[in-house]
Chain A
Amino acid sequence: MSGSPLVNQLIEALRCLPGVGPKSAQRMAYHLLERERVAAENLSAVLAKAVNEVGHCELCRSLTERKVCDICESSNRDRTLLCIVESPSDVQVIEQSTDYKGLFFVLMGHLSPLDGIGPEDIGLDLLASRLDQGEVKEVVLATNFTIEGEATAHYISEMVNSRNIIASRIAHGVPVGGELEYVNSTTLSRAFSGRQNF
């Protein structure tokens, strides 16, 4: 506890960040106030602006401050390919690590029957009308490899197939650099059932 109510308030506010407990929140607050005044001012201005202006892209539901995001608007993307992911950060990693050149659709979650989260809650009504427009020829299912992610992929694949569009699922198996001995048994059994010609 510091002697300043405002500093305490800042420490408390920083704790909303993932993985930040009271100790690290305190360190951050002191660091910003003692050594990084300019950066702190910049942070507070950008944060305020982002919170005010950033919303969801009308087409892919990803984060953007405009009606349609850069990726959806770009003329260099293959508009017949649509990749389905659970969160905006998934778009980010796919952009950084792969040469995928199609478009995205972000669910902002996954189906979770026991939590009462159904198709409309993850924007599948929007996806359905997107598919009905006829531009998309292949849907790449890149939801997480959790049970919920798989169930979501399955549900979407039925929507896709019923419209005579191709549905594909990204491959799963032993991670690159992984040793078989340390891979969990479910992953290993999937890797075997999904083996390919070599």
Chain B
Amino acid sequence: MSHQNHRVSLQAAFILHGRNFRDTSRLLDVFTQDYGRVTLVAKGARSARSRLQGILQSFSPLIISWSGKGEVQTLTGAESVKNSINLSGKQVMSGYYINELLQRLTTFHDPHPEIFTLYQNTLERFATDEDELVLRHFEKHLLTEIGYGLNLESDSEGGTAIDKNEKYYYDIEKGPVKVRNNNAEGEIIISGQTLLDMADEKFSCAQSQKEAKQLMRIILSHHLGDKPLKTRSLHWYKPL
């Protein structure tokens, strides 16, 4: 990135993560429409008189401005956009999960306007669609945008169309492989129906919903490497 002084005005943005910084400031990991992820310091954001505190919240669509040079630049203005997104408590947990996926699978200063739109639509869809469906949609399109798109249409060995009544396993490098004899040892077996549902972005049954989640988890963990996701390693979904 450039080391010249930099000034950006009125960018659409979301805060992925924030932490307290020095006495009264916040250090923010921000996902912006045209500049990708940037690290910004919100000076004085925690002081009692600051109006920023209520505004700088995750999952809230913002319009922000910043300036400076180097890795950490300074937030110079922020306002929340009219139609704010209200997530329920459980959806907030899902929201943290997609924030963590973005943090792990995208890098700073790498513009991704299409992922920005995907992210915004995903948060909005929580209001109307089933959470699991929203999450699978986000994961699938995120993988496509970062160059790891899934093959859900045809058997990668032989190229025949996926048959909903057949069983497959998913080879990360190639795609679905029809199960025959002992070729799927140690692999997670999924039905053709699940692959077709994932292509169509629906679940035709509980089994397909469960298998889609399992398959996504395996594919994502391949791309995430050894470090597990924090939002998946705690017992969030099983209250004490």
Chain A interface residues (CB < 8 Å from chain B): 18-21, 113-116, 118-119, 124-125, 127-128, 146-147, 150-151, 153-159, 162, 184-187, 189-190, 193
Output the least CB separation between B82 and chain A (Å): 6
Which residues of the other chain, A, contact B234 by a CB distance below 8 angstroms?
113, 116, 118-119
| Distance between Cα atoms of A113 and B97 in the complex (Å) | 8
| Distance between Cα atoms of A31 and B239 in the complex (Å) | 52
Q: What is the 8 Å Cβ interface bit string for chain B, positions 41-59, against chain A (1 contact, 0 not)?
A: 0000000000100110111
Chain A residue with the shortest CB-CB distance to B88: A154
A114 touching B59, Cβ below 8 Å:
no
A184 touching B89, Cβ below 8 Å:
no
Q: Count the B residues whose beta carbon is within 8 Å of the partner chain — how many?
A: 34
| 9 A-B pairs closest in CB distance | A154-B89, A118-B234, A128-B240, A158-B239, A151-B92, A113-B96, A113-B231, A186-B84, A159-B239
| Distance between Cα atoms of A156 and B92 in the complex (Å) | 14
Determine if B17 is an interface residue (Cβ-Cβ < 8 Å): yes
A113-B96, A114-B99, A186-B54 known; A119+B239 contact, CB < 8 A? yes
Which residues of the other chain, A, contact B89 by a CB distance below 8 angstroms?
150-151, 153-155, 157-158
Q: What is the 8 Å Cβ interface bit string for chain B, positions 196-212, against chain A (1 contact, 0 not)?
A: 00000000000000000
Interface of A is mostly: helix
B240 touching A159, Cβ below 8 Å:
yes
| Distance between Cα atoms of A136 and B107 in the complex (Å) | 48
Determine if B86 is an interface residue (Cβ-Cβ < 8 Å): yes
| Distance between Cα atoms of A5 and B212 in the complex (Å) | 66
20 intermolecular pairs with C-beta atoms under 8 Å apart: A113-B96, A113-B100, A113-B230, A113-B236, A115-B230, A116-B230, A118-B236, A150-B89, A151-B89, A151-B92, A154-B88, A154-B90, A154-B92, A155-B89, A184-B51, A185-B80, A185-B81, A185-B84, A186-B57, A186-B80
